[in-house]
Structure 1
Amino acid sequence: MFLDDNNPDYFTADSVPADENVQPERPTISFDGNEASRKRRSMWKRRLAWLIVACAVVLGVIFWLRYVSPYATDCRVKGYVTNVEKRGLVFKTYEVDMVSEQALTDTTRVYSHNLSFSVENPAIVKRLQAMQGTGVPVQIVYKKYYGTLPWRGASKYVIEQIK
Structure 2
Amino acid sequence: MAATYDTSKKKSGTFRKILGWTVLILLLAGSGYVYYRYYFVFGEGVKSGYLNYAVKKGNLFKTYEGKLIQEGFGSAKVGTGISSNEFEFSIESDSIFNLLEVNSGKYFDLHYKEYHGILPWRGNTRYVVDQVVNMK
Quick check: TM above 0.5?
Answer: yes
Give the whole-Å Cα distance in 1 for the aligned partners of 2:131 and 2:52. 17
Give the whole-Å Cα distance in 1 for the aligned partners of 2:72 and 2:41. 24
Q: Which amino acid aligns with 1:101?
A: E
Runs of at least 4 residues off by over 6 Å: none
What is the total number of aligned residue pairs between the two structures?
Answer: 127
Shift of 1:130: 1.5
Shift of 1:101: 2.4
Shift of 1:88: 1.2
Point out which structure has higher relative CO (alpha carbons under 8 A, 6+ apart): 2
1:153 corresponds to which of 116, 119, 123: 123
Give the whole-Å Cα distance in 2 for the aligned partners of 1:100 and 1:79. 4
Contact 2:70 2:84 (8 Å CA) reproduced? no
Shift of 1:28: 4.9
| Residue in structure 1 matched with residue 97 of structure 2 by the alignment | 125
Give the whole-Å Cα distance in 1 for the aligned partners of 2:130 and 2:4. 72
Contact 2:71 2:85 (8 Å CA) reproduced? no
Identical residues among aligned pairs (%): 28
Counterpart mapping for 1:45-56 below 5 A: 45-56=16-27
Q: Which amino acid aligns with 1:60?
A: S
Counterpart mapping for 1:50-89 below 5 A: 50-73=21-44, 75-89=45-59
Counterpart mapping for 1:1-163 below 5 A: 26-28=1-3, 35-73=6-44, 75-103=45-73, 110-111=82-83, 114-133=86-105, 136-163=106-133
Contact 2:72 2:85 (8 Å CA) reproduced? no
Gaps of 5+ in 2: 75-80
Q: Secondary structure, in 3 states, of the residue corresponding to 1:127? A: helix
* Alpha-carbon spacing, 1:102–1:27, altered in 2? closer, same or farther (3 Å): farther
* Alpha-carbon spacing, 1:131–1:38, altered in 2? closer, same or farther (3 Å): same
Q: Which amino acid aligns with 2:130?
A: E
Q: Secondary structure, in 3 states, of the residue corresponding to 2:111? A: strand
Shift of 1:93: 0.4
Shift of 1:36: 0.9
Higher strand share: 2
Shift of 1:79: 0.3
Larger radius of gyration: 1
Give the whole-Å Cα distance in 1 for the aligned partners of 2:84 and 2:71. 13
Gaps of 5+ in 1: 1-25
Spell out, residue by residue over 1:34-71, the C-alpha distance to the aligned partner (whole angstroms, 9 max, x if none).
x1121101110111011001100011011101101111
